[in-house]
Structure 1
């Protein structure tokens, strides 16, 4: 039997850690198993052709909110082309309500629910000895005589029993290397799938050091830890950070998702010694509204988080990314603006304005009726409206998100935006809201704009404010020129000056 492990990643630089684990657990078997990853941006005919040419008996696909619709279309066509080809799905997008998914998608033969390594090993072990009885495989949903059967969920394996994928696979130098030192999360946020895992399991420190040491030896560009809350155990996190700093190869960057209020004095002492560019932190703030936090059972205090973000930014050696989520209970448009201002004021390098997604399996989706949530039928199930946010409110926040990404997160406008916020006596949210209104009123959203044109657009915005704030456009122009000189190379600046400020 010839088996393919595959998926559609969101970008080429991304890779799928789950498939690498599955490949590793059967790598030393006698089965013919291949691992091929594609992206959602690949031509449909290319992916279809590559799989058809492979002559596979079983195609195993890793499913997420960003690829499930394309996977359904792809596999439907493959099944029509080769009715004998079997399809096994796994991943968070099919692990919940698997029976209904199989009813709606008759091309699906098997679904592995939850963690897949042990069930996939069982399944392949049965294949290797010619046993086709699916009842022997835990976590498996399958078809039997016209019915759909769900086998019981297996006990979760000890983390150290999971193989290190790069003992069996080459390190992909041109991609982000995903790594996990723990599974599960100690928190129970109602919008997050990780809250469904009742325990946190972790690799022994010695194993983590050994794995990291190998990746450092291979000089990979970035290692992204997928641990849901990396520093839930402060001492363990500090030990790992110290090890990385001590073994730093001067090239590799490490990304962590952390809980901001769990950073202690020892962490700051250790982190202060890190090379600039060694670490990148993602800190989920989500909201500054205490009623919203309580409603989604997010046990955190916003003030220590923002205090620690400021301390990290003052150190100046760690890139910090913070998140907000629009659409949580009790967070209306004005409340979200206040949350935005508080988080923006912490000065993080990147502020992501995200929108609530009612994921399959989460408690907030199960309780959607309580606050009259309306959300899109297809993945990623993004919020349309609720009792606190109208659909128009969310559209307006999408506009703010767009200009925030262009004029804050991409960098290169700091002096000018800071000046205009102060000169116009606006809050940060009020400024980006007004900039968004201008940007969309001029129909700039309809086309891609170069960095040079973004400078011209915001200068034009400053000119619009001139009648009310005399001299603002001249001062903004001078600051934009300084921002531009720091951000763009000399040739780009010369090209800009030849064309001038008109767009």
Structure 2
């Protein structure tokens, strides 16, 4: 796949900033910050974004077509393997090109990393100031002796905001990441933000002026990357008021919210937004108090549950809630308890994640005491501990995947309640394992086949009345928009009837008939 701005006839660019995004819809927020803070060098810099399925050969060809003196790569846990392939080829073909790395995957534990050994320089932590200084020296022919450069952390009012670098194509087709603050005051040990001393707010009026410019350019989707949007309620209210004044049918705002901090003033503001506008990402991670204390996570569980109930019952905000499996001391039973508690709060989505060992995160201090073992390959997920086995981790991995397909997708709103009843984790685990036993797959399962699998397992293993399950599945199928019918709902007869109707409308409309077939 070519980058957004791929062009082989482009003039020379002394500096190229590059990264591999997980998907096209994502945008490289950090690289835009780097370019915005290059000063007079910005006009000599081009930013190019690829996706993970791009071939290294194509990427290197396009990079070298620009004859860059310096290429900077943003390296993350999701793209480190592919980026290594690109850099190894780039340095083979053009060893004189200076390669500079940055990003969380190379900011810590550099020793022994092949990708770092292949590069010329690595900037750790914040890069806005240090990258500009480094490339300035390199373009003048001076090569700093230190390969690992600790990024300078300036005050936020000394950092240029990058929002003007979002193109018209970005605004029309991609997620726009924005931040009203940086850092986090909490010390949850599974997260790299635990290394921050506090949270720092940008100048709110300057930030909102940038948001207004984006809005005037047509931006309607704003994904806030602030770790704690509702930490300072005064600022939260000002931001919500700003968007209320610009409310439109297509406005969409994503915030990461601290679950146990929802004062009345914020509640009142939330109720003013219609359905489809607000999405709250709420990281519960675990309801186990002992595990919370062990990983330095401060969370009032009672207050968090009350606030989530309030959001669900009294607002139209969409709730995306997170749990993490594999935290030190967490057992399969205690995780199941957290899932059941969270399920009872009725969030729209429950994302079940597996603990990952992020380089630099404090979670590693529990490695010996709790026998934490992590996959040596990205994304470095936990594979076992003193309280969970490899088989447990595999089971939860399948659970998470099937939960996305059945629970989070919203495709089985009527069918799912007939299966999970009052023991959602236990019952859905049975469903997940039954699906796996019958398919041996967690991916590439068509929605039609999934309808049949859920129906068959519900009847045979859960003793759900066939007619009740068929009625629920019928409603779910109608809502899905699928033209074809699953076997459990009489696929053959209905499909034939549909084709006959199409034939009456127009025998020569082959495109329409092939779609139904």
Normalised to the residue count of structure 2, the TM-score between the two structures is: 0.88
Q: Which residue of 2 aligns with 1:473?
A: 466
Instruction: Provide closer, same or farther for how the CA distance between residues 500 and 4 of structure 1 changes in structure 2, counting only shifts above 3 A.
Output: farther
Equivalent residues in 2 for 1:458-469, closer than 5 Å: 458-465=454-461, 469=463
Name structure 2 gaps, 5 residues minimum.
Answer: 1-12, 496-517
Cα distance in 2 between the residues matched to 1:97 and 1:420 = 46
State the 1:133 CA deviation.
Answer: 4.6
Matches within 5 A, 1:352-431: 352-422=351-421, 426-431=422-427
Q: Using the alignment, how far apart are the partners of 1:24 and 1:217 within structure 2?
A: 20
Q: Residue 176 of structure 1 contacts residue 224 of structure 1 at CA under 8 Å; is this kept in 2? A: yes
Which of 114, 117, 127 aligns to 1:116? It is 127
The aligned runs of 1:81-92 (5 Å cut-off) are 81-92=93-104
SS of the residue aligned with 1:445?
Answer: coil
Which residue is 1:147 aligned to?
Answer: none
Deviation of 1:221 (Å):
4.3
Cα displacement (A) at 1:106? 3.1
Q: Post-superposition, which runs of at least 4 consecutive aligned residues in structure 1 deviate over 6 A?
A: none
**Structure 1 gaps, min length 5:** 136-140, 143-149
Counterparts of 2:397 and 2:44, CA distance in 1: 47
CA–CA separation in structure 2 for the residues paired with 1:414 and 1:190: 35
Alpha-carbon offset, residue 39 of structure 1: 1.0
- Aligned position for 1:146: none
SS at match of 1:328: coil
Alignment of 1:160-239 (within 5 A): 160-171=157-168, 172=170, 173-239=172-238
Shift of 1:170: 2.1
Contact in 2 for aligned 1:220/1:251 (Cα 8 Å)? no
Deviations along 1:38-88, one digit per CA (max 9) or x if unpaired, are 111222332222123222221100000001111112111111111111110
Q: Give the match for residue 448 of structure 2.
A: 452
Q: 1:183 to 1:46 in 2, by over 3 A?
A: same
Partner Cα separation in structure 2 for residue 276 and residue 5 of structure 1? 38
Task: Say whether residues 1:20 and 2:20 are aligned partners.
Answer: no
How far off its partner does 1:450 sit? Answer: 2.5
Pairing partner for 1:51 from 51, 54, 63: 63
Asked if 1:158 is matched to 2:155, the reply is yes
Does residue 5 in structure 1 map to residue 17 in structure 2?
A: yes
Equivalence for 1:432: 428
Partner of 2:492: 499
TM-score (ref. length: structure 1): 0.90
Q: Give the distance between the partners of 1:319 and 1:499, measured in 2 at CA.
A: 38
The Cα shift of 1:431 comes to 1.3
Shift of residue 447 of structure 1?
5.5
In the alignment of these two chains, the number of paired residues is 480
Q: 1:270 to 1:2 in 2, by over 3 A?
A: same
Alignment correspondent of 1:328:
327
Measure the CA separation in 1 of the matches of 2:423 and 2:375: 32
Shift of 1:36: 0.3
Q: Is 1:487 the counterpart of 2:486 in the alignment?
A: no
Native 8 Å contact 2:130 2:151 kept in 1: no
DSSP-derived class of the 1:61 partner: strand
Report the alpha carbon displacement of residue 453 of structure 1 after superposing the two structures with TM: 2.3
Cα distance in 1 between the residues matched to 2:200 and 2:485: 52
Mark the CA change 1:230 to 1:494 in structure 2 (over 3 Å): closer, same or farther.
same
Q: How does 1:123-142 map to 2 (within 5 A)?
A: 123-127=134-138, 130=140, 132-134=142-144, 141-142=146-147
Match in the other structure for 1:443: 439
